[in-house]
Chain A
Amino acid sequence: DIQMTQSPSSLSASVGDRVTIPCRASQNISNYLNWYQQKPGKAPKLLIYAASSLQSGVPSRFSGSGSGTDFTLTISSLQPEDFATYYCQQSYNTPRYSFGQGTKLAIK
Protein backbone atom coordinates (compact mmCIF):
# COMPACT_ATOMS: atom_id res chain seq x y z
CA ASP A 1 0.00 0.00 0.00
CA ILE A 2 1.00 3.58 -0.59
CA GLN A 3 1.86 5.53 2.56
CA MET A 4 1.38 9.28 2.66
CA THR A 5 3.53 11.29 5.06
CA GLN A 6 2.82 14.82 6.22
CA SER A 7 5.43 16.49 8.36
CA PRO A 8 5.19 18.60 10.43
CA SER A 9 1.92 17.58 12.04
CA SER A 10 1.38 21.18 13.08
CA LEU A 11 2.73 24.60 12.28
CA SER A 12 1.95 28.15 13.27
CA ALA A 13 1.80 31.24 11.12
CA SER A 14 0.39 34.76 11.06
CA VAL A 15 -2.28 36.35 8.90
CA GLY A 16 -0.65 37.50 5.68
CA ASP A 17 2.14 34.89 5.78
CA ARG A 18 3.01 32.63 2.88
CA VAL A 19 2.75 29.03 4.06
CA THR A 20 3.85 25.77 2.48
CA ILE A 21 2.65 22.36 3.64
CA PRO A 22 4.57 19.31 2.39
CA CYS A 23 3.38 15.80 1.62
CA ARG A 24 5.40 12.78 0.56
CA ALA A 25 4.26 9.50 -1.02
CA SER A 26 6.04 6.20 -0.40
CA GLN A 27 6.16 5.54 -4.15
CA ASN A 28 5.64 7.38 -7.41
CA ILE A 29 2.00 8.50 -7.70
CA SER A 30 2.44 10.80 -10.71
CA ASN A 31 0.00 13.67 -10.12
CA TYR A 32 -2.67 11.60 -8.35
CA LEU A 33 -2.58 13.83 -5.29
CA ASN A 34 -5.38 15.82 -3.68
CA TRP A 35 -5.50 18.34 -0.85
CA TYR A 36 -8.39 18.80 1.59
CA GLN A 37 -9.11 21.40 4.24
CA GLN A 38 -11.00 20.48 7.40
CA LYS A 39 -12.25 22.92 10.01
CA PRO A 40 -13.35 21.77 13.49
CA GLY A 41 -16.74 20.06 13.44
CA LYS A 42 -16.98 20.21 9.65
CA ALA A 43 -16.57 17.76 6.80
CA PRO A 44 -13.40 18.00 4.73
CA LYS A 45 -13.43 20.15 1.61
CA LEU A 46 -11.54 19.43 -1.60
CA LEU A 47 -9.12 22.28 -2.38
CA ILE A 48 -6.69 20.92 -4.98
CA TYR A 49 -6.95 17.87 -7.24
CA ALA A 50 -4.46 16.31 -9.63
CA ALA A 51 -1.66 17.93 -7.60
CA SER A 52 -2.13 21.43 -8.98
CA SER A 53 -5.71 21.99 -10.20
CA LEU A 54 -7.82 24.36 -8.13
CA GLN A 55 -11.28 23.03 -7.25
CA SER A 56 -14.14 25.27 -8.32
CA GLY A 57 -14.91 27.97 -5.77
CA VAL A 58 -11.59 27.71 -3.92
CA PRO A 59 -9.72 31.03 -3.53
CA SER A 60 -6.73 31.53 -5.80
CA ARG A 61 -4.38 32.04 -2.83
CA PHE A 62 -4.33 28.25 -2.61
CA SER A 63 -2.04 26.38 -5.00
CA GLY A 64 -0.52 22.96 -5.29
CA SER A 65 2.66 21.66 -6.86
CA GLY A 66 4.72 18.53 -7.22
CA SER A 67 4.79 15.23 -9.01
CA GLY A 68 6.04 11.73 -8.33
CA THR A 69 6.60 11.50 -4.58
CA ASP A 70 6.92 15.07 -3.29
CA PHE A 71 4.09 17.58 -3.17
CA THR A 72 3.37 20.97 -1.63
CA LEU A 73 0.28 22.97 -0.78
CA THR A 74 0.94 26.70 -0.71
CA ILE A 75 -1.22 29.45 0.73
CA SER A 76 0.11 32.71 -0.64
CA SER A 77 -1.31 35.07 1.98
CA LEU A 78 -2.95 33.50 5.00
CA GLN A 79 -6.43 34.66 5.88
CA PRO A 80 -8.12 34.13 9.26
CA GLU A 81 -10.47 31.53 7.77
CA ASP A 82 -7.52 29.40 6.57
CA PHE A 83 -6.58 28.16 10.02
CA ALA A 84 -7.58 24.53 9.76
CA THR A 85 -6.16 21.05 9.28
CA TYR A 86 -4.93 20.10 5.82
CA TYR A 87 -4.76 16.55 4.49
CA CYS A 88 -3.13 15.17 1.38
CA GLN A 89 -4.59 12.05 -0.27
CA GLN A 90 -3.38 9.78 -3.06
CA SER A 91 -5.84 8.57 -5.68
CA TYR A 92 -3.27 6.57 -7.68
CA ASN A 93 -3.80 3.15 -6.13
CA THR A 94 -7.32 2.41 -7.34
CA PRO A 95 -9.43 1.51 -5.42
CA ARG A 96 -7.25 1.61 -2.31
CA TYR A 97 -6.77 5.24 -1.40
CA SER A 98 -4.94 6.76 1.54
CA PHE A 99 -4.57 10.05 3.39
CA GLY A 100 -1.68 11.70 5.11
CA GLN A 101 -1.88 12.23 8.87
CA GLY A 102 -2.77 15.89 8.44
CA THR A 103 -1.05 19.20 9.20
CA LYS A 104 -2.79 21.54 11.62
CA LEU A 105 -2.25 25.18 10.79
CA ALA A 106 -2.56 27.38 13.87
CA ILE A 107 -2.36 31.08 14.54
CA LYS A 108 1.01 32.30 15.78
Chain B
Amino acid sequence: EVQLVESGGGLLQPGRSLRLSCAASGFTFSDYAMHWVRQAPGKGLEWVSGISWNSNSVGYADSVKGHFTISRDNAKNSLYLQVNSLRTEDTALYYCTKGTMVRGGDFDHWGQGTLVTVSS
Protein backbone atom coordinates (compact mmCIF):
# COMPACT_ATOMS: atom_id res chain seq x y z
CA GLU B 1 0.00 0.00 0.00
CA VAL B 2 1.33 3.40 -0.97
CA GLN B 3 1.85 5.69 2.01
CA LEU B 4 3.01 9.28 2.06
CA VAL B 5 3.55 10.83 5.48
CA GLU B 6 4.37 14.52 5.76
CA SER B 7 6.04 16.18 8.74
CA GLY B 8 7.76 19.41 9.70
CA GLY B 9 4.89 21.87 9.83
CA GLY B 10 4.07 24.15 12.72
CA LEU B 11 3.47 27.72 13.88
CA LEU B 12 6.27 30.04 12.83
CA GLN B 13 6.89 33.74 12.63
CA PRO B 14 7.32 35.58 9.33
CA GLY B 15 10.87 35.48 8.04
CA ARG B 16 11.71 32.13 9.63
CA SER B 17 12.60 29.00 7.68
CA LEU B 18 11.54 25.37 7.87
CA ARG B 19 11.95 22.11 6.05
CA LEU B 20 9.01 19.88 5.29
CA SER B 21 9.58 16.16 4.83
CA CYS B 22 7.60 13.38 3.22
CA ALA B 23 8.36 9.74 4.00
CA ALA B 24 7.26 7.40 1.22
CA SER B 25 6.60 3.68 1.37
CA GLY B 26 4.79 0.95 -0.52
CA PHE B 27 6.29 1.73 -3.94
CA THR B 28 9.68 2.17 -5.62
CA PHE B 29 10.20 5.80 -4.70
CA SER B 30 13.14 6.31 -7.07
CA ASP B 31 10.95 5.56 -10.12
CA TYR B 32 8.46 8.41 -9.71
CA ALA B 33 8.20 12.17 -9.91
CA MET B 34 7.01 13.76 -6.68
CA HIS B 35 5.30 17.04 -5.89
CA TRP B 36 4.14 19.40 -3.19
CA VAL B 37 0.62 20.85 -3.38
CA ARG B 38 -0.73 23.29 -0.81
CA GLN B 39 -4.15 24.46 0.29
CA ALA B 40 -4.67 27.66 2.23
CA PRO B 41 -7.49 27.55 4.80
CA GLY B 42 -10.84 27.50 3.02
CA LYS B 43 -9.20 27.85 -0.39
CA GLY B 44 -8.43 25.66 -3.41
CA LEU B 45 -5.45 23.55 -4.37
CA GLU B 46 -2.21 25.12 -5.54
CA TRP B 47 0.61 23.13 -7.10
CA VAL B 48 3.80 24.38 -5.44
CA SER B 49 6.75 22.38 -6.72
CA GLY B 50 7.73 19.12 -8.39
CA ILE B 51 10.86 17.05 -8.93
CA SER B 52 11.64 14.30 -11.42
CA TRP B 53 12.63 10.80 -10.32
CA ASN B 54 16.35 11.57 -10.68
CA SER B 55 16.22 15.21 -9.50
CA ASN B 56 17.31 16.42 -12.94
CA SER B 57 14.15 18.43 -13.47
CA VAL B 58 12.50 20.64 -10.87
CA GLY B 59 9.75 23.19 -11.15
CA TYR B 60 8.14 25.84 -8.99
CA ALA B 61 5.01 27.92 -9.05
CA ASP B 62 5.71 31.61 -9.65
CA SER B 63 4.39 32.37 -6.16
CA VAL B 64 7.23 30.43 -4.51
CA LYS B 65 10.13 30.64 -6.97
CA GLY B 66 13.31 31.74 -5.23
CA HIS B 67 11.66 31.13 -1.89
CA PHE B 68 11.15 27.33 -1.83
CA THR B 69 13.58 24.53 -2.74
CA ILE B 70 12.48 20.99 -3.46
CA SER B 71 14.78 18.00 -3.11
CA ARG B 72 14.67 14.26 -2.64
CA ASP B 73 16.79 11.46 -1.24
CA ASN B 74 16.02 8.24 -3.08
CA ALA B 75 18.13 6.22 -0.66
CA LYS B 76 15.90 7.37 2.19
CA ASN B 77 12.62 7.30 0.22
CA SER B 78 12.08 10.91 1.21
CA LEU B 79 10.94 14.17 -0.36
CA TYR B 80 11.71 17.58 1.09
CA LEU B 81 10.64 21.18 0.76
CA GLN B 82 12.89 23.89 2.15
CA VAL B 83 10.93 27.05 2.81
CA ASN B 84 12.89 30.22 3.47
CA SER B 85 11.70 33.66 4.55
CA LEU B 86 8.22 32.51 5.46
CA ARG B 87 5.37 34.85 4.59
CA THR B 88 1.85 34.96 5.99
CA GLU B 89 0.55 33.88 2.58
CA ASP B 90 2.51 30.61 2.95
CA THR B 91 0.01 29.54 5.61
CA ALA B 92 -1.49 26.33 4.25
CA LEU B 93 -1.80 22.59 4.50
CA TYR B 94 1.05 21.13 2.48
CA TYR B 95 0.43 17.82 0.73
CA CYS B 96 3.06 15.46 -0.65
CA THR B 97 1.86 13.79 -3.84
CA LYS B 98 3.13 11.10 -6.17
CA GLY B 99 3.12 11.26 -9.96
CA THR B 100 2.20 8.28 -12.09
CA MET B 101 4.62 6.28 -14.18
CA VAL B 102 3.13 7.44 -17.48
CA ARG B 103 2.53 11.09 -16.64
CA GLY B 104 4.49 12.58 -13.81
CA GLY B 105 1.98 15.38 -13.40
CA ASP B 106 -0.95 13.07 -12.60
CA PHE B 107 -1.16 12.84 -8.80
CA ASP B 108 -2.43 9.39 -7.91
CA HIS B 109 -1.55 9.30 -4.21
CA TRP B 110 -1.60 12.01 -1.58
CA GLY B 111 -0.47 12.26 2.01
CA GLN B 112 -2.68 13.71 4.72
CA GLY B 113 -0.73 16.95 4.79
CA THR B 114 1.28 18.99 7.27
CA LEU B 115 -0.01 22.36 8.42
CA VAL B 116 2.19 25.43 8.22
CA THR B 117 0.92 28.53 10.00
CA VAL B 118 2.84 31.78 9.63
CA SER B 119 1.90 34.44 12.12
CA SER B 120 3.57 37.00 14.32
Contact = CB atoms under 8 A, between A and B. Distances in A.
Interface residues of B, number: 27
B95 interface: yes
Nearest to B108: A46
A88 B120 CA distance: 34
B50 A97 contact: yes
A34 B106 contact: yes
Interface residues of A, number: 26
Q: Which of A46, A90, A101, A102 has the most CB of B within 10 A?
A: A46
B59 A95 contact: yes
A83 interface: no
B110 A44 contact: yes
Contact of B108 (A55, A90, A92, A101): A55
Interface of A is mostly: loop
Interface string B17-55: 000000000000000010101000000111100101000
Contacts of B113: 43
Interface of B: 33, 35, 37, 44-47, 50, 52, 57-62, 95, 100, 103-108, 110-113
Interface of A: 1, 32, 34, 36, 38, 43-46, 49-50, 55, 87, 89-92, 94-102
